Amino acid sequence: MRILIIRHGDPDYSIDSLTEKGWREAELLSLRLKDEGIDKIYCSPLGRAKDTARPTLEKTGMDYTILDWLREFPLSVTVPYDELGYRENGKNICPWNLFPQYWTKEAQLYDNSAWPEHGMYADGRAEVLYGQVTEGWNTLIESFGYHREGQIYRYDANSDRECTVALFCHLGLGLALLSQMTRISLPLMWHTFFLPTSSVTTVIMESHRSYVNEAHARIVQVGDTSHLYKGNEPVSQSGLFSPIK
């Protein structure tokens, strides 16, 4: 089984849709995805994800299923940067936009079991939202015959091992999904990986002949934008502090 995690195209957040560039990205993405042999398409309920999927639906004749847990991770955090001696005060900061001068010194954020207890997440919202992503993923993969036991997925003869599934979603949510698949700390995943707009991240359910009916989720490609290079479309800087060269 193959899972394609797709970030929406370059966003116009003011209208929850795409910029002109975003629509070009979505078109180039659809030219790639139409030949990927996709069997099922799932999508965030937000407009920018649905609009990104639209050209692919038109070319494949498929429809999508909306999954509410694929919406962008609706969370902000407050960091008292001034009190800590940093230059800017942190009010309602996007949780994957923390300054590295701060988060790299917070050892607790590197620990997959301890990060929810950090002061930024003390109200429990992040842990609840992360739990919803985990539950949503486990339910989805179980519908294809994979039953999760820790990092191992057991499957039976009725599992759909040859299918390809596309998930149209978001930057924060896509990285949260990778975090729960790998058990890499969510804050660490958010701050050390990046998914460009319209990028494709590929996960396979890998099996080994020595272990019959067992698999694990293996990430084989992260944030691929080869369709943009093929179409001479620059990679968007949306979500980055520094430009991609």
pLDDT per residue as tens digits for the range 114-148: 999 998 898 999 999 999 999 999 999 999 999 99
194 contacts 200 by C-beta, under 8 angstroms: no
Say yes or no to pLDDT of 245 above 90.
no
Averaged pLDDT for residues 172-192: 96
Domain regions of the chain by residue span = 2-212
Averaged pLDDT for residues 3-20: 97
CATH for 2-212, among 1.10.443.10, 3.40.50.1240, 3.40.50.300, 1.10.760.10?
3.40.50.1240
219 contacts 175 by C-beta, under 8 angstroms: no
Residue 162 corresponds to which tokens in the numbers above? Answer: 């040859």
C-alpha–C-alpha distance, residues 51 and 21, integer Å: 13
pTM, rounded to two decimals: 0.94
Q: Which of 75-84, 147-156, 186-195, 196-205 has the lowest mean pLDDT?
A: 75-84
DSSP H or E stretch at residue 112: none
Closest to 151 (Cα-Cα) out of 217, 61, 84: 217
pLDDT number for residue 90:
63
C-alpha–C-alpha distance, residues 1 and 54, integer Å: 24
Averaged pLDDT for residues 101-115: 94
pLDDT per residue as tens digits for the range 37-60: 999 999 999 999 999 999 999 999
Q: What is the 3-state secondary structure (H, E, C) of 224-240?
A: ECHHHHHCCCCCCCCCC
Averaged pLDDT for residues 99-108: 92
